[in-house]
Structures are given as structure tokens and as C-alpha cells.
Amino acid sequence: MYKNLQEFIVTLDHAGELIRVTEEVDPVLEISQWTDAESKKTDGGKALFFSRVRGSRFPVATNLFGSPQRIRIAFSVDELDDLGHRIAQYTDFHPPRSMKDVLGLLPLATRAVQFVPRSFRGRHPPCQEVVYTHDNVDLGILPALQCWPGDAGRFITLPLVFTKSLVSSKRNVGMYRMQIYDRQTTGMHWHIHKDSAHYFTEYEQAGRRMPVAVAIGADPATVYAATAPMPRGMDEMMLAGFIRRKPVRLTPCLTVDLAVPAEAEFVLEGYVQPGELRREGPFGDHTGYYSLADDYPVFHVTALTHRKNPVYQTTLVGRPPMEDCYLAKATERLFLPLLRTVIPEIRDYFFPWEGVFHNLAVVSINKAYPGHAQKVISGLWGQGQMSFCKTIVVVDADVDPQNSGQVLSTLIRRLDVRSDLMPATGVLDVLDHCSPFPNFGRKLGIDLTARVAGEPPRPARETPGPRPPLEIESVQAAVEGTVACRELLAAPPGDPPGRVRVIAMSIIKSSRRGGRAFADDLLAKDLLAPSDIVILFDADMDLKDESRLLWKLFNNVDPGRDLFIQNSRVIVDACRKGPADGHMRQWPEELTFD
């Protein structure tokens, strides 16, 4: 296991997974352009190490986790599921029934002790080899990136933010972007649902400033742990110790009562003052859109410390695939055994990248009784960060949720919009931009499981038998504003002729003609009567780019507003929204470089 970030970088270099960029690069947009281009290569390209960064004496490392191979190297595993298997050793615990069973538990208990963080032993922790305090602090020495052209400034994008509860003194380590305002202040972008925001409320109610410490650059397990959706009160440094198979060594900060990883590259110490807010953002986010500007707490830096020769670790997020996709994949595999402890009928699950982690989950279950799929969907919406998931699709245990071909085949053979959709209302991720209301809106469960005894059968299809060919030219001529039209999901060999038909259309909206007007026209046209699902996209959409179609579908649809259902047919509006659609919130721009 890696002692620190630089050991991990050396390992990647020896494995042929690192490109060293020796020409001078600018942290404003240029490093991001390099990183975005590399991330979009097959299997995530390579990690990047920029040794000459304009305006800073520190090198920058990006895309370190951004491939299947590098995420396995980061965790020292052959497969990411190995982490889940190790977790299962503890979640599948059974009380001992004999002395032999007791003795068999001793190695497990001994290993568990290794997870607990320990104090650094030594006179000078590496993270405090160079120290600046109070007026000597200057955040300008950091090679922080401006990631996208529309960003409000330069951001620290991979910070490990350490806080603790005023009530229980329990530690939390989260990852919240930080916009640099000036020499000694940044934004603190913790969302309303996050643990640090909850702890900050405790300090606000007590009228006390909240101590905060931020580590930048650490060993892979420690960095990952800050991104993990741990239950409130569970120490992320314990998780890092579990992955590392050895404890994280912590050292006290110099100006606040917190402890940070001794092997970190940089550490920022300071406080957040109750009642002090400042406009933060916009910022190019992992959804592939800019998250909009809003007011967030201000972090005042009282100390900046670092190693003698530190490496500044950062990340770029945007439309998938990006580096964060592989970190999310690790979370998917690691937390499956924990989810099974509360919903044991789950066989497996999958978060497609196009769903940007919180917009779509595909779950396979061992179905046993009527309404079982609906029970699982409701249960998942009540579990931690799964509560943010907008769409949950449930399939039977013989369908591999990781196999998109199997899932789509099941959908086109089985989906009936009259009986298989389960609408709901609840909490949404802060970054959801298409709900009429921030943080709150409609969700959708989709049951694609086979019916069992006691469940009503799916209604017969209105248009059984072979479908007539789609008359694309006629559709374009008959529906005002249509740009292009294409049938998706061609029937696999052997599929019955009564399958679901899915049509993608690109359209031009206007101030008087929104999604509902198009839906009314389409549902009235005999030309599309044999079609079960029609998905509307903006005029600039390439209807042959299926990954982009899915990304738009799962990002731009509010199930309560953008689904228009008539009998067995549904029109889905995956376009940009505006007042003509009843959407009064600002719609964010997509992330692009010029």
C-alpha cells in the first residue's frame, strides 16, 4: 500500500500509466484541455504530470484515477469487486457457536484494529515541513485550476475537507470544491445534504465559528475515502485504513483543533464563520453542465503548510467519461455488500455513466412476491445518497445490470408504460437542473421484472405483430419543427414482433411551442401510432451518438413535467427547458472548450 501520493505516482510511472508533460502549461484552462482530451481516450488514457506550471513552483498531477487499470492499481486489487468481498467478511458476520468459531474470529478482529487512524510518530510531519501562518498565507502559490471557460475563477477541486461535530466531536471528511477568492479566503461548497453542512448548522446555532482543515494530495485510499457516501458519524479515515490495510497516520493542525493526514502534500487550516455567505460559482460540474452560482460559506485560511517538494493533485470533472467516473465505480462495487445488509434481495446494481451517478440506477433482484420490485425501489429511495437517485430500473436476477444490451433487450420486450412506471416525489441532488424546484422534485421507478402469481399481467399491446417501417420523411413533414428522426433499439435476433418501438426526434422549440405542444401533435398523428416511446432532443443533437442521447435523456427530464403518456404510448421531452415548458429556473450551459 502507498504511504503517500508520490509513491502512487512513481508506481503509475513504472507501470507505463503516466505521461510527464515537460513544456510549460497554464493552470487557467490549458491543463484542463490536456486532461479532458486524455480522459476521453479509450479506457481513460493516461495520468498526467505537469512539471512546469506557469505562475507556480509546484508540479500538478491530474487523471491519476481515470482508468480501469489505474483505479485497480490505486487500491492494489485485481478487480474492484475484491473490495466488496473484503467488506462482506464483516457484514456476513454470524455469532460464534463454539470455541472453534471464536478462535476463527480472532484474525478478523485483529485486522479490524488496523483500520483505526493512529497518531503520527516523529518530530516533523511531512505535511508541515514548510509553514505559513496568518498574514503570511498566500493561496496564490497553489497552481489551482480554472477548469472551464465559464468558471467563476480558480478552484481547488480535490480537497479533503476535515470537520468535526460540535455536539459529538465525530470527524467527517468530505470533498467539496473550493473557489479561491483571494490570498486567504475561499468558498466552501458543501451541499445542504452533506454531513459537514449538518455540523456547520450546529456551530451556527451555538454562534461559534467552525474549525476546518483541508488536505490536498494524499495516498489513493485516503483521497477516495473523502468521496465515499459513508453514513453520518462513520469515520472516513477508518474506511481509508480498511482499503490500505494499515492505519492512516494523523497529525494535529497548528492553528485549529483538528488532525489531518501527516503524509499530505498541502494542508490549509482555518475556519468558517456563521452567517457569512458569499457568491460562489458558476463551476463546470460532473453533470457536464455548469452548476449555477449561489451563496455559500466562506473559508478563512489561518495556515498553509506543505511538504518541501509537494505535488499538487487536482481533478477535472465534466461530461462522462472523466476521472470521477472511475472513483464512482469503486463506490458502486465497495458499497454493494453494505446495501445488501438492508435490502438482501438485491443481486447486483449498476450506475451508468450517462446517468452521472445520481440520475439512474439499474438493480437486479431475486424477486419472490407480488410488489417486490416496488418495495425495493421504495427502500432504495430511503437509503443515504441513494435517496438522490432520480430513476431506478429493476430487473430480474437473470439479467446482468452491467450488461446494457441485456437491460435494453428486456426493456423493449417487456416495458408497458401503463403498468410498469412508479412515479414518486422526493429529495433530489443539488446539481439536478431540470426539476422546477431546487433540491426537490419527481422521481421514477421502472419495473421490468417478470410478473409473478398475485400480480396483474401486463396489458396486451395495442399494436401486436410486425411494425410497419418508420416513414421518417412523412413524420418530418407532418410535425412542425421536426429536424430529424431515427428509430432506436433495433430488435435483437429472436425478439418477438410485439416489442417496444423507440423513436428519437430532434426538434426546434420556440417561445410559443414547448414540449407539450410537440407531444400533443405527435400523440395525434397516425404516422407514429405504432411507436411506443418518442424521445425529443434539441435540434443540434446527433441522433447517432447514443451515449450522448442517454446522457441528455437522464439529465434533462423531470418525470413529472416531461413525460406525456397516452394509453400505451409516451412522449419524453429531453430538450433544454424554458418558460414555454413551465420551467422558470435558469437552465445551465453545457461544458465546452472553444
pLDDT of res. 99: 55
Same domain, 190 and 231: yes
pLDDT of res. 211: 98
Cβ burial of 217 (10 Å; 0-12, 13-18, 19+) is buried
Q: Which one of 397, 412, 447 terminates a domain?
A: 447
Same domain, 281 and 383: no
397 in a domain, yes or no? Answer: yes
Phi, psi of 488 (to 5 degrees): -105, 165
Same domain, 287 and 370: no
pLDDT of res. 100: 53
Same domain, 397 and 309: no
322 in a domain, yes or no? Answer: no
Same domain, 23 and 132: yes
Look up residue 109 and give its three cell numbers. Answer: 478482529
pLDDT of res. 46: 98
Q: Which one of 313, 335, 363 terminates a domain?
A: 313
Cα 112 from Cα 119, distance rounded (Å): 17
Cα dihedral across residues 227, 233, 235, 239: positive or negative: negative
Phi, psi of 393 (to 5 degrees): -110, 130
CATH number for the domain spanning 542: value is 3.40.1670.10
Same domain, 149 and 200: yes
Same domain, 39 and 144: yes
Residue labelled with grid coordinates 468459531: 101
Same domain, 11 and 137: yes
pLDDT of res. 206: 96
455 in a domain, yes or no? Answer: no
Which residue range forms the structural domain that includes residue 438?
343-447
Q: What pTM did the predictor assign?
A: 0.92
User: Which one, of 493, 521, 526, lies nearest residue 505 by Cα?
Assistant: 521
Q: What is the chain's pLDDT, residue by residue, as a tens digit (594 residues)?
A: 899 999 999 999 999 999 999 999 999 999 999 999 999 998 999 999 999 999 999 999 999 999 999 999 999 999 999 988 888 876 665 565 665 544 454 455 556 677 899 999 988 999 999 999 999 999 999 999 999 999 999 999 999 999 999 999 999 999 999 999 999 999 999 988 888 999 999 999 999 999 999 999 999 999 999 999 888 888 999 999 999 999 999 999 999 999 999 999 999 999 999 999 999 999 999 999 999 999 999 999 999 999 999 999 999 999 999 999 999 999 999 999 989 989 999 999 999 999 998 899 999 999 999 999 999 999 999 988 899 999 999 999 999 999 988 998 898 888 888 899 999 999 999 999 999 999 999 999 999 999 999 999 988 765 555 666 667 777 777 788 889 888 886 555 554 555 778 889 999 999 889 999 999 988 887 777 667 889 999 999 999 998 999 999 999 999 999 999 988 889 999 999 999 999 999 999 999 998
Cα 519 from Cα 536, distance rounded (Å): 9
Alpha-carbon separation of residue 573 from 252, 428, 529, 592 (angstroms): 53, 19, 18, 23
**For 78-90, how does the pLDDT look when each residue is reduced to its tens digit (9 = 90+)?**
999 998 888 887 6
Beta strands at 159-164 and 171-174: parallel, antiparallel or unpaired:
antiparallel
Whether 285 sits among the annotated catalytic residues: the reply is: yes
379 in a domain, yes or no? Answer: yes
Same domain, 395 and 496: no
* Structural domain count, the chain: 3
Same domain, 398 and 540: no
Residue type, 13: D
**For 81-138, how does the pLDDT look when each residue is reduced to its tens digit (9 = 90+)?**
998 888 887 666 556 566 554 445 445 555 667 789 999 998 899 999 999 999 999 9
Alpha-carbon separation of residue 522 from 530, 532, 541, 549 (angstroms): 11, 11, 19, 20
User: Which one, of 536, 405, 515, 523, lies nearest residue 462 by Cα?
Assistant: 523
Q: State whether residue 4 is helix, strand or coil.
A: coil
pLDDT of res. 5: 98
User: Which one, of 58, 505, 566, 41, lies nearest residue 49 by Cα?
Assistant: 58
506 in a domain, yes or no? Answer: yes
54 in a domain, yes or no? Answer: yes
pLDDT of res. 480: 84
**Residue 444: how many CB atoms within 10 A of its CB?**
19
CATH number for the domain spanning 268: value is 2.30.110.10
Q: Which one of 313, 331, 360 terminates a domain?
A: 313
Terminal Cα distance for the chain, rounded: 41
Catalytic residue among 151, 219, 235, 285: 285
Same domain, 372 and 426: yes
Burial 359-391 (b: 16+ CB within 10 A, else e): bbbbbbbebeeeebbeebbeebbebbbbbbbbb
Same domain, 390 and 532: no
466 in a domain, yes or no? Answer: no
586 in a domain, yes or no? Answer: no
